[in-house]
Amino acid sequence: KYLEESSERKRLYNEMIELKGNIRVFCRCRPLNQVEIANGYSDIVEFDSSLDNELHIISSDSSKKQFKFDHIFRPEDSQEAVFARTKPVVTSVLDGYNVCIFAYGQTGTGKTFTMEGTPENRGVNYRTLEELFRISQERSGTMRYSLFVSMLEVYNEKIRDLLAENSNQPPKKLEIKQAAEGTQEVPGLVEARVYGTEEVWDLLKSGSRARSVGSTIANELSSRSHCLLRVTVKGENLIDGQKTRSHLWLVDLAGSERVGKIEVEGERLKESQFINKSLSALGDVISALASKTGHIPYRNSKLTHMLQSSLGGDCKTLMFVQISPSSADLGETLCSLNFASRVRGIESGPAKKQADLTELFKYKQMAEKLQHDEKETK
Ligand code: ADP
Ligand code: MG
pLDDT of 219-261, one tens digit each? Answer: 566 788 999 999 999 999 999 999 999 999 999 999 999 876 5
The whole-angstrom separation of Cα 181 and Cα 204 is 30
142 labeled part of a ligand binding site: no
In the chain the first and final C-alpha atoms are separated, in Å, by 17
351 or 309: which leads in pLDDT: 309
The DSSP output letter for 122 is B
pLDDT score of 308 more than 50: yes
Over the stretch 115-151, which tens digit does the pLDDT of each residue have? Answer: 999 999 999 999 999 999 999 999 999 999 999 999 9
In this structure, are residues 306 and 282 in contact, taking their beta carbons and an 8 Å threshold? no
CB contact set of 256 (below 8 Å; sequence gap of 6+): 104, 105, 106, 275, 279, 332, 335, 336, 339
Q: Which atom of ligand 1 is nearest to the CA of 322?
A: 3
Percent of residues, the chain, with pLDDT higher than 90:
60
Judge whether residue 11 has pLDDT over 80. Answer: no
d(C-alpha 344, C-alpha 54), whole Å: 13
Burial call 58-86: b when 16+ CB within 10 Å, e when fewer = beeeeeeeebebbbbbbeebebeebbebb
Provide the ipTM.
0.99
- Residue 25 Cα, ligand 1 centroid: separation in angstroms? 19
CA–CA gap between residue 251 and residue 248 (Å, rounded): 10
Confidence of residue 263 (pLDDT cuts 50, 70, 90): low
**pLDDT class of 218 with cuts at 50, 70, 90:** very low
> What spacing in Å lies between the alpha carbon of 219 and ligand 2's midpoint?
7
Answer whether 247 contacts ligand 1 (Cβ < 6 A).
no
Q: What is the pTM of this model?
A: 0.85
d(CA 267, CA 55): 37
Does the annotation list 377 as a binding residue? no
Mark the residues whose beta carbon lies below 5 A from ion ligand 2.
111-112
Is 112 annotated in a binding site? The answer is yes
